[in-house]
Amino acid sequence: MHRSRFLHTLVPTLAVFAIGTVLLHACRDDRPTAPSTPLAGANLAEAATTAVIHPTGDTYLNIDAGNYATETQLNLYTWPDTKPANAILMTFDLASIPPGSTVSSATLTLNLVASDATTDPTYTVTAHAIVNKNPVLTSTTGYTYDGVNSWTPNTCCYNNVPLAQADIGPPVATQDVDKTPGLKQWEVTSIVRGWLTDPSTNFGLLLNSDPSKLRDRYRTFSSSEDPIANHRPTLTVVYIRPGPPPPPPPPPPPPPPPPPEALVGQWSTVFPAPIVQLHLHLLPNGRVLSWGRNGDPQVWDPLTGGFTAVPAPSWLFCAGHDFLPDGRLFVAGGHITDDHGLPNANVFDAATGSWQPAPAMAHGRWYPTTTTLADGQVLVMGGRDQAGAVVTTPEVWNGSGWRPLTTANLETEYYPRNFVAPDGRVFYAGEDQPSRWLDVSGTGSWTDGPRRNFTGGRGYGSAVMYAPGKILYVGGGDPPTNTAEIIDLNQPNPAWTYTGSMAFARRQMNATLLPTGDVLVTGGTSGGGFNNPVGAVHASELWSPVTGTWTTVASNAVTRIYHSTALLLPDGRVLHTGSGDGGQGADERNYELYSPPYLFQGPRPAITGVTPSTVGYGQIVFVGTPDGGSIARVTFIRLGSVTHAFDMGQRMVPLSFQQVTGGLSVATPESRTFAPPGPYMLFLVSGNGVPSEARIMLLQ
C-alpha cells in the first residue's frame, strides 16, 4: 500500500493546519545556444537563447495539513476512487530573461522515479498556472497556500480539502506519463509567456494528479532536493532577446524627499467606522469602546480592525465617563434632546462586553464631567438636566448610591476640565476663569484658585495632567488661541504660567499624553466661531515638558473639529477619529492612526513574561525585559476616556525602578492622589525615547 507512504497520517491530520514561514532557495543558469553565425535576416539581438531555470521552490500538496517542501520526491496520487489526493507545486524566477523577450518555447522537465504496480499503463498529468493565490511553498499545505490562509474552498477532493483546485487556470499541457523511469516533459509556453508579460501573475504552476484513476495510482518524481543534480526539475525556456530600447527621455528632477518619519511620525490611511466615534475609551483588554449621537456603541479591536455592536441601556450621547477602580467604565448622564440630559448611570464591563444600569442621579446631566477620586468614588459635575437647566450641584457615586454636594453649588460651563489634585481636592481648571478647588468631603465646598493668564475663556481647548499635579491647558477660545499655560499644583501657591505657543491656533482639538511624557495635539480649527471648517488644522504638534516648546509633525487627512477624539493605544500609536454628529459639521465615520516619531527611532524595548493584572499601592513589581540596561523611564498612563476635546481619564505617573536580573524592579505609585485607582498602561521607555508596547494593570 502506497497510501501510508504518500498520504502519511491522512485521517488524523485532516483538521490540522501547519503554520510557518522560511526562506525559499533557488538556482538557475543561462545557457546561450546561439548559432556561430547570425540567422538569415536577423541581427545578433534576435539570436535564440536558452535558459535552463531551476525552481525557486517545489513541494506537493497532500490531502492533509502537512508541508513537504524539503522532501526529495514530488508525488501525484489518486485516492480514494476518482479523487486527486496530491498535486505538485513549483515556482520559477524568470529574472534571468530580459523584459521584452519573445519566448519561443518553454518546457518543464521532471524525472520519474516511481509508479504504482497496477496494470494501468499511463497516468494523465495536466499542467496549470496558479491564479489568485501566491503560495509560500515552504509552508503551504493542501488546506492553505501560506500555512495560514486557506486556498479558495473547493469540493474536488477528499473531505473537501481545497488542494488549490479552485486557484488554477485551465490545463495548458496534458501528458500521459508511462511507467518508464526517466525524464518526462510538459510544454508550458503559454504560462511562461503570461508570466513575462505580467510578472505580478507569476504565482507558479501546478501539476495535477489523474482524477479518472482508481485509488492508489500514482507517479513520483524527483524534487529539487534530489541528491543527483540532473534528476532535479528544470524549466527550459528558449527566447529571443529584445533589440536595444530607444534612449529614455531625461528624467524630471526628483521631488524633495519627504521629512523622515523619525522626525514627524506617520499617519495611516483612513479606515471606515460604523459610527461617529465622539466618545472614546481604551478598555482594560486593549480594545476601544466608542459611541456617537446615532447608532449603537461599538467595540473596536485594534488587532483585526473589526467593530462589534454593544447596545446600551440609555442614549449615552453627551454623557460623562471615567473608569472605576475595578476597570469597568462608569457613564453618567446622556441625551434626551439637545441641552436636555438623562439622570441615568450605566457601567460597561469589558470582560463580558455588557452594560449594567446603576441607580440614577438626582439630576439629569448633559455635558457633565466624571472624575474618579483618590478613594475610588466618582464625582459628577456640571451639565444640563431634563428641563434644560444648568445643574449646579455636584454628586458623588460611592459604588451603590449618590451623595449630593449641597453646599458646593456652582454654575460651570460644559464638560469642566477637572483633575484630582495632590492634596485630594478636585482642581477645576476651567474652561472659564478663575480656576477653583472643590473639597468633596461632607456636603462639599469651593475655594477660589489662581486665574489663568489668557484672559478669554479657553472654550473647547484641551487640558491634560502631564505629571502628578502638573497641568497643561492649551488652545481654545473664540477666536482660537495658540497659547498654552501650565500650573504645578504641588507648589504652596500654584500659579498659571505661559509655556511655548503652538504653531497653529486651535479650537475643538485634542491633547493626548504619550509614553515619553510629551503631549500630542491633533485636529481642531483656527477659524473663528463654534465649529468652523475654514481654517481646519491637519498638522499635529508635540509639546515637550522638558523644553516647553512645540514641534510640528505629520498631518492627518481628515478634517476633525467638533466631536473629534484622540486616544493613546497600548502599542504607542494614537487613534484619531470622530467629528460631526452635530455642530453642522460633516459626519466622519472613519478613523486614522498616528505613529509618533518614537516608533521610527530604533528598536522597541520588549516586556517579556507575565506581568500582574492587578497591583497595589507602594508595591514592587518585577517586569521581565531583555533591555533592562537601556531603559531610561518607566511610565504609568491611566486609560483614556475622551470626548469634547477633554480626556477625563488620562494622567501620567512616572515610576521609580532599578535593573535586576532578567528585567526591572518597578515601584507602583504610593499616593492615591497622584494615581487614582483604576486601569493603567505601563510603558518602558529606552534612552532613545522609544517606548515598549504597554502592559495594562489595575491599580487598586
Q: State pLDDT tens for residues 511-547.
A: 999 999 999 999 999 999 999 999 999 999 999 999 9
Partnered with residue 205 across adjacent β-strands are 90, 129
Which position has the higher pLDDT, 41 or 183?
Answer: 183
Q: Please identify which residue in the block is written with the cell numbers 441607580.
A: 359
Helices and strands, number each (H, E), in the chain:
4, 53
Helix (H) or strand (E) holding 261: helix 261-264
Cα–Cα distance, 558 to 539 (Å, whole number):
11
- pLDDT given at position 659: 97
| pLDDT score of 44 | 38
| Chain mean position to CA 619 | 32
Going by C-alpha positions, the residue among 368, 321, 366, 362 that lies closest to residue 342 is 366
Q: Can you tell me whether residue 423 is helix, strand or coil?
A: coil
| Cell numbers 446600551: residue | 312
What average pLDDT does this structure show over 58-74?
Answer: 96
- β-strands 695-699, 614-615: how paired? parallel
Q: Distance (Å, rounded) from C-alpha 210 to C-alpha 576?
A: 56
3-state secondary structure 273-304: CCCCCCEEEECCCCCEEEECCCCCCEEECCCC
Q: How many CA atoms lie less than 13 Å away from 590 in the CB half-sphere?
A: 14
- Name the helix (H) or strand (E) containing 357: strand 354-358
Residue 10: pLDDT band by 50, 70, 90 thresholds? very low
Residue 218 has pLDDT above 60, yes or no: yes
Overall average pLDDT of the 85-98 stretch: 96
For 238-270, the pLDDT digits (tens) are 999 988 767 888 888 888 876 799 999 999 999
Contact assessment for residue 234 and residue 128, using Cβ atoms and an 8 Å cutoff: no
Give the pLDDT confidence score for residue 227 in this predicted structure: 96
Per the listing, cell 499635579 goes with 469
pTM here is 0.66
If you write DSSP's letter for every residue of 298-322 in order, what string do you get?
A: EEE-TTT--EEE---SS--TT-EEE
Residue 304: its pLDDT value, please? 96
| CA 602 from centre of chain | 19
Closest CA to 171 of 129, 134, 228, 136: 129
pLDDT beyond 80 at 8: no
Residue 160, classed as helix, strand or coil, is helix
Full strand arrangement of the beta sheet holding 402-404:
369-372, 378-381, 395-397, 402-404
Q: How confident is the model at residue 391 (pLDDT cuts 50, 70, 90)?
A: very high
What's the rounded mean pLDDT across residues 22-26? 26
Q: What pLDDT was estimated at residue 432? A: 87
| Cβ atoms of 611 and 619 closer than 8 Å | no
pLDDT, residue 246, reads 75
